[in-house]
Structure 1
């Protein structure tokens, strides 16, 4: 197992110690221990319905709007949730789909706006639908007037300390994960991305210079099959892309503009037969792309734009640090990427 999974999956009694998960994150989020403690509310979702203005008790939206302070959300059974409007996630919340099969699909999806300390784990998010403007209840029962929202699976705006782990994301008309408008301290780990054109966007647009302070760790993810580009694409900020599996790509795998920095470390890049072999794309030709100990198969090639890795260090704090595994072990490290199936009678 990779270092995140080894922290909790080796515990056969993880169901009785769900909050242990918050101690297992690595990378720029650091440890998510602000999400646990004596003051956390454990909330069980029993109802898959959704009312964006008057959420019913037992629904996922009710947990995000009516519970004050820290909330740890679990699900009573397998369920398919079709959101009528984007779900505004509250700060200090954990959505924990382990042990059941939860789909958020064929409606609106997840929106993190000016929040902090959020964990999203073990959810299958796909076939999201773009939304027109309109009111929706947000955290603390505030009515928020949202503008049009693109069909992203998970969209972050001006948010920090967010951990996206062990989700399966696919088939959305826009993107799967957007990190924009000054969002930072993000770790995206152990996810499965598939059947998608634009996968992950880090940075709002070429004019939003606040994203120069963005820091994102992308680790232990499985990209593919049939992912075309943005794994990730980054503007201005810094991404540490490490120990991920790339199962082919279309236009490119790693891209950027506006002088971004991408440290690609010990990833496994498997180019498709007869497809594009070049991994990188830089629209402005001024990015910093560095490959360290990556593994290349089927003719995959990486165009570096910096000579020294010294300036590309992630500069992690002690609570963010983790050991980087040999790129030749990435197949096994990412073998369980995506939402897990957890038998009731054994370890997850």
Structure 2
């Protein structure tokens, strides 16, 4: 090819680039957001397509569903907005700027955000006051390598977009409790998040893994809890719902587990249920080893439109019942529209009715076809939000 031919090829290439840049229509931010929202689950579709989410963080209180209902009690004219600037931790005399200062000390409605990426090593469990939102969107927040979170006799709490991992058991000691009172705390197992006599708690879009005991416990009469969009991985005992076989107050427990991703390398308790009622819907189980859902003391379970993928080698049975119980009036383990791969199977209760969650208008959501579970859970875990627009 001569010089003229080379110049012609170059000119054609430049012209093509110019046409693409100036004449191919571009999607507006609104249209991009709309298209992105089509592939999201009901919770995410409510707020994530909003490019102004940073300035409108409180929008998410209208997006919660299931037993937690709408979290509108967490906002209002008296809301205190607080930014964490210091990753250090003093469990008895928290300093202004630290996470514990606002999470435990100040009464009233508090919305906590973070100035920058942080690795927070708590010296004692963080006890969170009522009407507190811990919002890690837009930054990379790790609570790890020692004590972790405890929700103790409080209500109306949101934990969002936090990475909680490598939590360790704690010896008894003094710690700043809810509402600024120093209390004596007994020995604590190494859980990522533990609920004790708590109500109206929303755990959404967190990544939890590699803890000494479990990842999430809902115990001692806790109820009205929604566990959504989380990524649980690399853990033996994942989620416990109900304190122990003798704690009958947990009969009133109501928990929804929805849009979560379990795996890889999760062994058991996804969840393990005692006494109460649990609706498990539209979750992806990828990496279970011993079993996925188990229980004792006659719990009620509706497993609906979940995707269970059994390991190639090992247990294929999804359910586990203490002492091998399978029948009887007290047991209600039911599978509705679930899907099973790699030979996975679900042992349902013989006879009886499928227990309904009986959601109120504010709690209700539509469980979608199991074929959509992979896309609905694709963004599970702490979010990687754009620093300029979408989350």
Same fold (TM over 0.5): yes
Give the conservation status (yes or no) of the 8 Å contact 2:105–2:181.
no
Larger Rg: 2
Question: Which residue of 1 is the match for residue 333 of structure 2?
Answer: 289
Question: Which residue of 2 is the match for residue 200 of structure 1?
Answer: 239
Q: Which runs of 5+ in 2 are unaligned?
A: 1-39
- Large movers: runs of 4+ above 2 Å: 306-310
Q: Does residue 302 of structure 1 match 2:302?
A: no
Question: Structure 2 CA distance, aligned partners of 1:181 and 1:280?
Answer: 24
Give the conservation status (yes or no) of the 8 Å contact 2:332–2:352.
no
Cα distance per residue 1:14-34 (max 9 Å; x no partner):
000000011100110000000
Question: Structure 2 CA distance, aligned partners of 1:147 and 1:248?
Answer: 34
Question: Structure 2 CA distance, aligned partners of 1:308 and 1:101?
Answer: 47
> CA shift at 1:275, angstroms?
2.1
Q: Determine which structure has the larger helix proportion and give its number.
A: 2
Cα distance per residue 1:105-138 (max 9 Å; x no partner):
0010000110000000000000001100010012
Question: Which residue of 1 is the match for residue 202 of structure 2?
Answer: 163
> CA shift at 1:68, angstroms?
1.8
1:155 counterpart SS class = strand
1:20 counterpart SS class = helix
Question: Which residue of 2 is the match for residue 334 of structure 1?
Answer: 377
> CA shift at 1:306, angstroms?
4.1
Question: Which residue of 2 is the match for residue 134 of structure 1?
Answer: 173
What TM-score do the two structures reach when normalised by structure 2?
Answer: 0.88
Give the conservation status (yes or no) of the 8 Å contact 1:110–1:154.
yes
Question: Structure 1 CA distance, aligned partners of 2:64 and 2:232?
Answer: 20
> CA shift at 1:308, angstroms?
4.8
Question: Which residue of 1 is the match for residue 270 of structure 2?
Answer: 231
Question: Which residue of 1 is the match for residue 15 of structure 2?
Answer: none
1:67-106 to 2 correspondence within 5 Å?
A: 67-106=106-145
> CA shift at 1:249, angstroms?
1.2
1:228 counterpart SS class = strand
> CA shift at 1:307, angstroms?
3.2
Cα distance per residue 1:6-58 (max 9 Å; x no partner):
00001010000000011100110000000011111001000000000110100
> CA shift at 1:331, angstroms?
0.2
Question: Structure 1 CA distance, aligned partners of 2:238 and 2:258?
Answer: 15
Give the conservation status (yes or no) of the 8 Å contact 1:222–1:244.
yes
Give the conservation status (yes or no) of the 8 Å contact 1:290–1:306.
no
Q: Does residue 245 of structure 1 match 2:288?
A: no
1:199 counterpart SS class = strand
What TM-score do the two structures reach when normalised by structure 1?
Answer: 0.98
1:256-295 to 2 correspondence within 5 Å?
A: 256-284=295-323, 285=325, 287-295=331-339
> CA shift at 1:248, angstroms?
2.8
2:372 counterpart SS class = helix
> CA shift at 1:260, angstroms?
0.4
Question: Which residue of 1 is the match for residue 63 of structure 2?
Answer: 24
Question: Structure 1 CA distance, aligned partners of 2:170 and 2:163?
Answer: 20
More deviation, 89-98/138-147: 138-147
Question: Structure 2 CA distance, aligned partners of 1:135 and 1:293?
Answer: 49
2:334 counterpart SS class = strand
Question: Which residue of 1 is the match for residue 31 of structure 2?
Answer: none
Q: CA RMSD in A?
A: 0.9
1:63 counterpart SS class = helix
Give the conservation status (yes or no) of the 8 Å contact 1:64–1:138.
no
Give the conservation status (yes or no) of the 8 Å contact 2:158–2:201.
yes
Give the conservation status (yes or no) of the 8 Å contact 2:105–2:176.
no
Q: Which runs of 5+ in 1 are unaligned?
A: none
Q: Does residue 48 of structure 1 match 2:92?
A: no
How many residues in Structure 1 have an aligned counterpart in Structure 2? 347
Cα distance per residue 1:58-97 (max 9 Å; x no partner):
0000002332200000000000000000000100000000
